[in-house]
Amino acid sequence: MDSKSNTKSFTMPTLFPANPIWGDQRTIHYRENTSFTITYFTEKKALEPYLPDNIIVPENPLMMVSYCMCRGVEEMGGTGYNLVSVCVGARYEGKQDKYDGDLSLVIWENKFPPVVMGREFVGYPKLVVEIDDPWMGENRWGWRVSENGTCFLEGELFDLVKMSDEDCRNLNAVSVSDFNSGNLHMTYKVFPGANYNDDPITAHVCGVVHRDDFKEAWTCKGSLKWHPVTPESCYLCYGIIDSLSKLPILKYDACMVTRGSHVIELGNSRRLV
């Protein structure tokens, strides 16, 4: 492999020139994201078996389940996609780095191109499933996630109250994820070894830099419903669904709907040590 490879990023298949999949890979721009976030507290002992080393959670960790309708993604030719993510509030305690924030546990998306960008470069735990646009009723919103036509998770948000412009600006300030804000979004990046039984080539936590510019936001109430599935109906996600659905919902916390632009700064994201 020539020395020029060190300045390039590889995507599959790797036999072809090591060029970015979408132009400049240092940033990803979303012109408009509409997000529906439901949060709840769960039990530490139920969640801890799924956490990587150096990740610490409180006795009652805060879980965040978000549906996001991503539109105007510049690196996708202005098109978009839908996703549902599950994160947990956590702290990273490494030899050098110590950050508070949240850890991404799984992200389901309904198109493959954004999966490649996030998963291979910064370790976002992404999988392709079926996610339709949300449904809307009178002061209610909802969404569903399915695999092979089998719905395994539904979310519903209701009793929306619009936030003031000032509160929206404050929300922008606290939603920044970087190495100085006191709030860092984290992923767990794993590259398997060359042979089946080998240890991973690398397994480390990454800190991801991103920011939002919310134009509108609403506070609300919300609820989640997991549906029972089988390994045959949801063979790709069965283990994840089974594990997450068993986490007890001790109490729902603040829920929110937001609308605005979003930027992920891949070039400023890095491994935590």
Cα 185 from Cα 89, distance rounded (Å): 9
* Contacts for 254 with CB less than 8 Å, ≥ 6 apart: 39, 219
Strands 126-128 and 135-137: unpaired
Please name the helix (run of DSSP H) or strand (run of DSSP E) that holds residue 132, with its range, or none: none
CB 69 within 8 A of CB 96: no
Cα 270 from Cα 147, distance rounded (Å): 32
DSSP 3-state assignment of 168?
helix
List residues bridging with 127 in a β-sheet.
Answer: 108
What pLDDT is recorded for position 2? 43
Tokens linked to 23: 């132009």
25-271 classified as CATH 3.30.390.50: no
What pLDDT is recorded for position 130? 98
Concatenate the DSSP letters of all residues of 143-169 into one string. Answer: EEEEETTEEEEEEEEEEEEEPPHHHHH
**What residues in the chain have per-residue pLDDT under 50?**
1-5, 22-23
What pLDDT is recorded for position 88? 98
List residues bridging with 106 in a β-sheet.
Answer: 86
What pLDDT is recorded for position 19? 58
What pLDDT is recorded for position 20? 55
What pLDDT is recorded for position 75? 85
Residue given tokens 């999949």 in the structure block = 21
User: Of 51, 140, 53, 144, nearest to 95 (Cα)?
Assistant: 53
pLDDT tens-digit map of 23-69: 455 788 999 999 999 999 999 999 999 999 999 999 999 999 999 99
Cis peptide upstream of residue 13 (ω within 30 degrees of 0): yes
pLDDT tens-digit map of 3-12: 444 556 666 6
